[in-house]
Amino acid sequence: MMNKELPYNENWIFKQADDPSFAAQPIQDGQHVTLPHSWNASDGQGESEAYYRGACWYQRLFQLESEHMGKQIYLEIGAAGNKGEVYVNGHLAGESRCGYAMFRVALNRLLHEGENLISIRVDNGYDNEVLPLLADFTFYGGLYREVKLLLLDHLHFDVMDNGRDGVYVTQKRIGAGLFELTVEGQIINHRAARESGRVQLELRNQEGKTVCEIGADVTLEKNTAFKLVQEIADPVLWHGTEQPYLYEAVVTVESEGEVKDRRSVEIGFRTIQATTDRGILLNDKPLKLNGVCRHQDFGGKGNAITKAEMELDMALIREVGANSVRLAHYQHDDYFYRLCDRYGLLVWAEIPYISIPSTKDPHNHNAFEQLERLIKQAYNHCSIYCWGVQNEITIAVETEHTHTNIQKLVQLAKQLDPNRMTVQANINGVADESVINSYTDMIGYNLYYGWYYGEIKDLGDRFDSFHRANPEIPLILSEYGVDTNPRFHSYTPKVQDYSEEYQLMFHHNALDSIASRPFVQGGYVWNMFDFGSANRHEGGVRGRNQKGLVTIDRKLKKDAFFLYKAYWSDEPFVHLTGRRFAERHQAQNEITVLTNLRHIRMYNNGKLVAEMRSDAKVKVAHEVTLYEGNNLIKVEGYGESGSLYTDEMTLQLVSKANPAYEYVKPESGAHVVNWFEQFDLSDTEELKLREGYYSTFDTIDELFENEQAQAVFVKYFAHVTDNPFFEVTRSVMSIEKMAQLTFYNIPPELLNVINKELNAIPK
Ligand code: GCB
């Protein structure tokens, strides 16, 4: 009989408590759950102040049936956030420290006939050696992806190499229209005796027709490596969203006249390069990356999402017209990469080597483990064009280890996959000239000019300065965006007002800045969807980052969504902006229409108020007069062949501005803007620092070793010590480093003042 894969998601018992006896003893008062499951579905998105971080247990009984006899049995866990330990009848069977990757455990050696207890301890508590340590998203705990039981024959493709399929399919162009297809992997034979067998590859086109068939006889030892290579002339190319043409590679191993194991891998033939003069070349044709970033979580569900939610995300990403997606900041569900293959989106895939490295393990082994799993598990997805090795890892500390680790991660990526590019996402503070920028094939920058710092228009200047410093390095805008709560509105949008109008303005500028520069390969909107970020509390909402084009429940598309749709999508539409800004206190209004149609007409209560014909995607009707009562604003867009597209909204003229539209910043917040004003900064005489005494260059932990130095720190920074960011970074963060982060808002004069006090304290 052939190998079987059974879903194993039902009938789990869950207990939100950590008790080592659960490894061997049934949980008495647990809760029945079906996987995927997360215990942070609501507290991880702002329902309560803190979210539960710690260890919990899942259990399930496993009946060893007669059908299992003679089978090799494995449990496949889609993901355990962030660490998982699997016990069988009280014995540890396997574990994972990669909370976003799949892992498997072999069960046979621990199973006995009849009833067996499978217990899984899952832990999302803080562990300095397991990434991510700190980031702007919720580290949801749980068995949040599908679990499967694999019942395999004595002969099968390797399922325990940290990969997924056990077969690796590589396509490579070797001449004009000529590709080389390689299929390699390992076959495992659980019997002591060697066997003769055959590995076979059949390539089928989309119509199911066999394009080629090759095979090789193999002698099957305990582990047998195989490699099949075949030239393919003029395949139909996989060409992004325009033509996501996939072939199916069917790989089998046969012995004793029957197929023992079989894999079906979807594969696209394509070439992808990055250039500084023509941008990304997909099959030699330039393609600007019109990208969005995606986090995997969903309103009310945390990261415990099903295929239906992933399909909805893909439908929205397709609707906005994106041709690329950055799947941030960790490995996503395999099904999502598969959807990207099928719909032709180019994928930036990455690991959570983010914000700060481990401070206990200078080599950050966990980053390497996560990279290995990501690459091996996602290797066969032709949509992936690059591996991201770090995101803003220099935010708090940058040492030689940081540099060596990034370089080694790149080496590992190249060793596991020489055919794909590497990339990293830098924080804006990384100098254009930084040596870091020479480590990967492409460089991404997360740039928030006009939100966290600077002004909207600075974006283009930064692109240009980077390009001047690095004319040969392809640049990507790896993140950009602003928090937006669709409740807030303004006639005069400003930074940090969280209004829908500011988001629109910000993104409009970015689109132009990217489009006009060929060395910029493209950009990734941060973010396609609002997402859970338990430590946030701003813009009128707790527990969420609101930079999405769509809300976390996927129900509301903010106006900026339609801006992108107008630029990127061919699906004809018209959209009136400002519909949630329904009460207007000015009689004269600018009304903006977002559309990919040339010709539109606008009406108020049936009367024509504007008519425009142009290629502009953003069409503004000036001085539209509103009257008392309801104003039904309607727009008509005229497509080719006379088709009509419409949108409408109702606005009311009111006498006073509606205060509910304005975000009022709570003054009592922990980070009062000019918190330093209470200190005297008038003494600007520069100090020469003495060796052997404390200074702003020491880490906070070092300062805290001395009572006096600690007191100086606390005097100035007591207001930040309850911040989780502070707690996790104190062993590497110095006051100097804090001063480089806009978040702390430290004026340079203050450093001198603090040094005068610290540098008087001997070490
Ligand atoms: C970033 C991070 C991302 C955050 C984003 C933000 O640069 O890479 O994880 O969510 O900024 O919204 O601040």
Tens digits of residue pLDDT in 508-564:
999 999 999 999 999 999 999 999 999 888 999 999 999 999 999 999 999 999 999
Span from the CA of 383 to the centroid of ligand 1 (angstroms): 24
CA 472 to CA 469: how far, in whole Å? 9
Percent of the chain at pLDDT above 70? Answer: 98
Ligand 1 contacts CB of residue 353 (under 6 A):
no
- How does pLDDT run across 76-94, given as a tens digit for each residue? 999 999 999 999 999 999 9
667/675 Cα distance (integer angstroms): 11
3-state secondary structure of 503: helix
How many Cβ atoms from other residues are within 10 Å of residue 571's Cβ? 12
CA 134 to centroid of ligand 1, rounded, Å: 11
- Residue 525 Cα to ligand 1 middle (Å): 11
Q: Which CATH number fits domain 167-267: 3.30.200.20, 3.20.20.120, 2.60.40.10, 3.10.129.10?
A: 2.60.40.10
**Mean pLDDT value across residues 643-672:** 86
Flag whether pLDDT at 730 surpasses 90: no
**Best of 545, 546, 552, 743 for a ligand 1 pocket test (most atoms within 8 Å of beta carbon):** 545
Contact 408, 366 (CB under 8 A): no
Cβ(500) to ligand 1 under 6 A? no
Check if the beta carbon of residue 292 is closer than 8 Å to that of residue 323.
no
The pLDDT of residue 95 is above 80: yes
**So what's the pLDDT on residue 667?**
54
The finding on whether 43 has its CB within 6 A of some atom of ligand 1 is no
Radius of gyration of the chain (CA): 28
Determine if ligand 1 sits within 6 Å of the CB of residue 479: yes
Alpha-helix residue ranges (DSSP H) falling in 629-675: none
Which tens digits make up the pLDDT trace of 319-369? 999 999 999 999 999 999 999 999 999 999 999 999 989 988 999 999 999
Fold of 286-571: TIM Barrel (3.20.20)
Mean pLDDT on 643-654: 98
pLDDT, tens digit, for every residue of 371-414? 999 999 999 999 999 999 999 999 888 888 999 999 999 999 99
Q: Is the CB of 136 under 6 A from ligand 1?
A: yes
Q: What is the DSSP string of 215-229?
A: EEEEEE-SEEEEEEE
Structure tokens at 558: 């903010």
Using CA atoms, how far apart are residues 649 and 358, in angstroms rounded to an integer? Answer: 52
- Quick one: CA torsion of 585, 586, 589, 593, rounded to 10 degrees? -10
Q: Do residues 35 and 60 lie in contact, with contact meaning Cβ atoms separated by under 8 Å?
A: no
Residue closest via CA to ligand 1's atom 7 equals 446
Atom of ligand 1 nearest to the CA of 391: 8
Fold of 4-152: Jelly Rolls (2.60.120)
CA 703, CA 712: separation in Å to the nearest integer?
Answer: 9
Residue nearest to atom 6 of ligand 1 (CA): 136
pLDDT at site 719: 81
Distances (CA, A) of 663 to 49, 181, 222, 654: 21, 57, 66, 19
Mean pLDDT of 734-763: 87
Q: Which alpha helices (DSSP H) does 548-693 contain, by range?
A: 559-568
**CA 207 to centroid of ligand 1, rounded, Å:** 43
Average pLDDT over the chain, rounded to an integer = 95
Instruction: Please determine, looking at this structure, whether the domain spanning 583-661 carries the CATH number 3.40.50.450.
Output: no
Residue 679 confidence (pLDDT) above 90: no
- pLDDT tier at 214, thresholds 50, 70, 90: very high
End-to-end CA distance of the chain: 72
Whole-number Cα distances in Å, 91 to 96, 492, 637: 15, 64, 67
What separation in Å is there between the alpha carbon of 541 and the centre of ligand 1?
Answer: 17
Q: Would strands 289-294 and 285-286 be described as parallel, antiparallel, or unpaired?
A: unpaired
Cβ neighbors of 428 (< 8 A, separation 6 or more) are 445, 446, 447, 448, 449, 453, 462
pLDDT at residue 671 tops 60: no
Measured by CA distance, the residue closest to atom 9 of ligand 1 is 136
119, HSE (Cβ side, Cα atoms, 13 Å): 23
Domains 286-571 and 583-661 share a fold: no
Supply the pTM of this predicted model: 0.94
* Strand 384-391 relative to strand 421-427, pairing: parallel
CA 452 to ligand 1: nearest atom = 13
pLDDT surpassing 50 at residue 478: yes
Q: Which atom of ligand 1 is nearest to the CA of 545?
A: 12
Other CB atoms within a 10 A radius of the CB of residue 435 amount to 11
Report the residue count for the chain. Answer: 763
Burial-class residue 283 by CB neighbours within 10 Å (0-12, 13-18, 19+).
middle
Nearest CA among 397, 445, 398, 400 for reference residue 423:
445
**Ligand 1 atom closest to the CA of 481, numbered from 1:** 12
Domain ranges of the chain: 4-152, 167-267, 286-571, 583-661, 667-758
Phi and psi angles of residue 336, each rounded to the nearest 5 degrees, phi first: -70, -40
DSSP reduced 3-state for 137: coil
Tell whether ligand 1 has an atom less than 6 A from the beta carbon of residue 489. no
One-letter amino acid for residue 37 of the chain: H
Please name which of 125, 117, 197 lies closest in space to residue 154, comparing C-alpha atoms: 197
The two structure tokens encoding residue 661: 């539209």
Q: Is the pLDDT of residue 600 over 60?
A: yes
Q: Name the pLDDT band for 267 (thresholds 50, 70, 90).
A: very high
Residue 483: which pLDDT band, with cuts at 50, 70 and 90? very high
Under a CB-based contact definition with an 8 Å cutoff, are residues 269 and 275 in contact? no
- Shortest-distance atom of ligand 1 to CA 533: 10
Counting Cβ atoms within 10 Å, is residue 608 exposed (0-12), middle (13-18) or buried (19+)? exposed
Report pLDDT for 676: 76
Most confident of 65-69, 240-244, 710-714: 240-244
Cα–Cα distances in Å, from 6 out to 568, 674, 686?
41, 59, 71
* Contact 477 CB / ligand 1 (< 6 Å): no
Most informative mutation of 445, 479, 743 for ligand 1 (most atoms within 8 A of CB) = 479
| 389 alpha carbon – ligand 1 mean position (Å) | 16
Q: What percent of the chain has pLDDT over 90?
A: 88
The predicted model gives 434-457 an average pLDDT of 96
Q: Is the CB of 526 under 6 A from ligand 1?
A: yes
